[in-house]
Amino acid sequence: MPDAPLRPEPFTLRTDPAALDDLRARLRATRWPDLPEDAGWSLGTDPAYLRELVDYWADGFDWPAQQAELARLPHFRVPLGGLGVHFVHARAVAPTGPVLPLVLTHGWPDSFWRYAKVVPLLTDPGAHGADPADAFDVVVPDVPGFGYSDGPAGPPLDSIAVAGLWAELMSVLGYSRFGAAGGDIGSHVSRYLALDHPDRVVAVHRTDAGLPLFGGDPAELAPEELAWIREVTAWGATEGAYAAMHRTKPHTAAFGLTDSPAGLAAWIVEKLSAWSDCGGDIERSFTKDEILTNVTLYWLTGTIGSSMRMYHANSAIPPEQLARRVEVPSGFSIFAGDVVRPPRAWLERTANAVRVTEPARGGHFAPFEEPELYAEELRAFFRPYRAAAGRP
């Protein structure tokens, strides 16, 4: 008999109250390192800010309220590749034209949380001052090993394998053709969706181009490309320790980060500060409740180790895969506050870059930092490709 078709099942966000009691007890018993309180962010997470955040996490943060807010999105799980994959699937509201299915992929250190604010803006643009004809069906999966998706029991999946799962997921949902978008690891996954499934991906939008790989003669590169590669190298020397750990020895850090919520917060919050467009004041980009919602998702799901292992998997992707050029129509929104911002010459070298913009606000987490601006970027880029795809 043929295998039964895969059927997504509704998924309810739940938390055992005992898990919250344990979390609060650990927070109150934090053993703090001997650090100068006036160090600021110069050597990593600001000690004074982290103490303030941990105190609030223990005695002020209302996780049930934040969970209820996340639960307003329609959540599902489906078995793919032997793993239970969690995803948000929100359909367009009152569309007035063709509806484009769109799969959005997050990065690290986050989950579907990255797109929580932007989903309503994309599915119901008319309710937010935009054209109802720009409505999307939006699919936001948690990468395996992140959020509420299962983590692989064996070797971690790389971005190529995740792209294959997303192609299968979109088939399960009945979408033969669709758009793809993402940033950070999600940029890599979206890229491989376009590379390996060009007959299905009508267009791909990214907020970065990853780290540069060029095996040719440097004389072929434009001056701005050479300058960017030097900039990325310098950035890696001062800011890349986390990635080196993730790529090489992720388990060593995972023990401490899985056991200490304060340590987990320090590891994640430093990146939220350094990579956002906050100008050194993290709460210009995120409230404490928003920060702690992201960190609490990592804590309750126990996924910091599995999320870091994906760096190890991606580091083994062959160079010839990394060097492939994307021929599917590609759009890039390079936000002003992001890190390692590529020049247009590099984007055109590596992809069929039909639209490149540089929004004046927003950083690495632009869908969360500037959801209205990010939603408008997606609406504008995908508008010409709506007729090429549609929901069933």
DSSP labels for 190-203?
A: HHHHHHH-TTTEEE
From the number of C-beta atoms within 10 Å of its C-beta (0-12, 13-18, 19+), residue 48 rates as: middle
Residue type, 357: T
Q: Which member of 137, 184, 208, 277 is catalytic?
A: 184
Do the Cβ atoms of 92 and 135 come closer than 8 Å?
yes
| Cα distance between residue 246 and residue 327, in whole Å | 31
Q: Nearest Cα to 294, choosing from 147, 175, 161, 189?
A: 147
From the number of C-beta atoms within 10 Å of its C-beta (0-12, 13-18, 19+), residue 263 rates as: buried
Do the Cβ atoms of 340 and 225 come closer than 8 Å?
no
- CB-based contacts of 369, cutoff 8 Å, min separation 6: 276, 277, 285, 286, 337, 361, 362, 363
| Cα distance between residue 375 and residue 51, in whole Å | 34
Assigned token pair, 301 = 């799901």
Q: Which member of 115, 364, 374, 385 is catalytic?
A: 364
Residue type, 241: A
Q: Tokens 């056991």 map to which residue?
A: 259
Q: Which residues are 80's β-sheet partners? A: 83
Assigned token pair, 28 = 């109150």
Burial 72-86 (b: 16+ CB within 10 A, else e): ebebbbbebeebbbb
- The answer to whether 364 is a known catalytic residue is yes
Q: Which member of 49, 192, 242, 311 is catalytic?
A: 311
Catalytic residues: 184, 311, 364
